[in-house]
Amino acid sequence: MTLNFFRPTPREIGSGVAAYTPTDNTPYLLAKRRVAIQNAALHYGILGASVGLALGMAGGSLRPSVKNAVACALGGASACGAGAVIASLVFVPVFFNYYHHDQPSLLLPVLIRGAIFVVIGSMAGLSLALGLGWKFSAAPMARVALAGATGALCGAIANEVVYALAFPLARSESPIPSEPASRLLAHLVVAVSIAIGAGWNARKSDLSVASQDRPSPPPVTGDDSR
């Protein structure tokens, strides 16, 4: 549904031919580019909000207050969704600046999607860390955010490999995978990879933070040793 949520106006459709050519500034082609960027922002914004909601809720649910868990879930959804939208608005225009219809590149959309996934992963990791209550622990939060970004990058690479093996004749030449199966595969693989990366690192960081916060035992005096 998000692939065609935004559409050119009838006047724009009747003004040109269907092709992506950055050097051609006809109203139709400019409209096609505009709606493609808007649809990508909506598509990845929903993905980011979903991942942020899940990880924010996962972190917040470990705290005793239900109110905090809901707040962390909503905050994670907002942060990841906004990050994904901004990343789409930044990176998808780069795709159209370098894409050539007569010589399509298969690497370009992979790089664009990977960049957007990395932003989603880092924001999701940060949402998980905030949900765990690390508001003033910068180093653990940064590590979890980096782990989320790394998980997203590994998931993006794994998705491309699996998709190439499962559909060897298919080609993906757009910022959003055109086939429903490829979109579902990308979302599942990337989301699971982000959750594994951020969750595994959060567990390690949580243990280290807990050990730092644990009060040290009182010193042993001479009278106590008797």
Please tell me the distance from the alpha carbon of residue 215 to that of residue 2, in angstroms, as a whole number.
Answer: 52
DSSP, res 126: H
pLDDT tens digits, one per residue of 70-123: 999 999 999 999 999 999 999 999 998 888 777 777 788 889 999 999 999 999
- Higher model confidence: residue 213 or residue 34? 34
Task: Work out the number of other CB atoms within 10 angstroms of the CB of residue 124.
Answer: 36
Confirm whether pTM is higher than 0.95.
no
pLDDT tens digits, one per residue of 142-157: 899 999 999 999 999 9
Please tell me the distance from the alpha carbon of residue 132 to that of residue 56, in angstroms, as a whole number.
Answer: 8
Please tell me the distance from the alpha carbon of residue 49 to that of residue 82, in angstroms, as a whole number.
Answer: 8
Q: Which runs of consecutive H residues, i.e. helices, occur in the chain?
A: 10-13, 27-60, 66-98, 107-131, 138-166, 180-213
How high is the pLDDT of residue 16? 60
> In the chain, where are the structural domains located?
9-213
Nearest residue to 126 (alpha-carbon basis) of 88, 76, 83 = 76
How high is the pLDDT of residue 1? 59
Please tell me the distance from the alpha carbon of residue 73 to that of residue 59, in angstroms, as a whole number.
Answer: 8
Contact 148, 198 (CB under 8 A): yes
pLDDT tens digits, one per residue of 16-62: 654 444 445 677 788 888 999 999 999 999 999 999 999 999 988 88
Please tell me the distance from the alpha carbon of residue 61 to that of residue 58, in angstroms, as a whole number.
Answer: 5
Mean pLDDT, range 174-201, rounded to an integer: 90
